[in-house]
Amino acid sequence: MRTNRTKVMKYILLIFMLFFSACSVKNYEITQTKIIIIKSPKIKFVDLGYLRNSDEKIELELFIAGKCIETITVNHLICTNEGCMSKSGFNEDYLNEAYPDDILQNILLARPIYSGKDLQKTADGFEQHVQNQHVDISYRVDSHVTFFKDRKNNIIFKIKDTGE
């Protein structure tokens, strides 16, 4: 009787391992090495990072001296090494609570922010300048650099090609 119970437990353990390992498989369509600069109230970072994305998920891995110090994953929630939270919760904790929920994913994917408000096309991308009582944002995207600066809240994102 004991050996049957042991066999059953082994099969259950194997099924759980297969199930959980299948959930953790990361299938990203695009992986890029970037020079990342982030300055916000909670994150200060300047070094290389990997920006990976698929249709459903974005992942930003930040490295210092070859060691991953932070992973930020964006899908319906935003997850960091400290845990997962809503997009508005992430903005409140890491950026600024006045930002729209999709601002981080739009910056990481070099897409217009604030639903394209004040968008000006340039020869190699676009620029946006968004000002209101809460923000003073300059946002520029071209084929090699994404640059976001909020002067009012002292927040900077710069994502630059490594030149490879």
Domain boundaries, the chain: 2-161
Q: Identify the pLDDT of residue 22.
A: 41
Chain position carrying tokens 């981080």: 104
Domain boundaries 2-161, corresponding CATH code: 2.50.20
Query: Across residues 134-152, what is the average pLDDT?
Result: 96
Is the model's pLDDT at 114 over the cut of 80?
A: yes
pTM above 0.85, yes or no: no
Higher pLDDT, 129 or 64: 129
| Residues 6 or more apart in contact with residue 103 via CB below 8 angstroms | 91, 95, 113, 114
Give residue 23's pLDDT band: very low, low, confident or very high (50, 70, 90).
very low
Query: Across residues 83-94, what is the average pLDDT?
Result: 94
**H-type helices in the chain, by residue range?**
2-24, 87-94, 103-108
Q: Identify the pLDDT of residue 38.
A: 95
Query: Helix (H, G, I), strand (E, B), or coil: what is residue 133?
Result: coil
- The neighbouring-strand residues paired with 64 are 67
pLDDT (tens digit per residue) in 26-67: 566 778 889 999 999 888 999 999 999 887 899 999 988 888
Higher pLDDT, 128 or 53: 128
* Lowest pLDDT segment from 22-31, 53-62, 77-86, 127-136: 22-31
Portion of the chain with pLDDT greater than 90, in percent: 65
| Residues 6 or more apart in contact with residue 158 via CB below 8 angstroms | 35, 36, 37, 145, 146, 147, 148
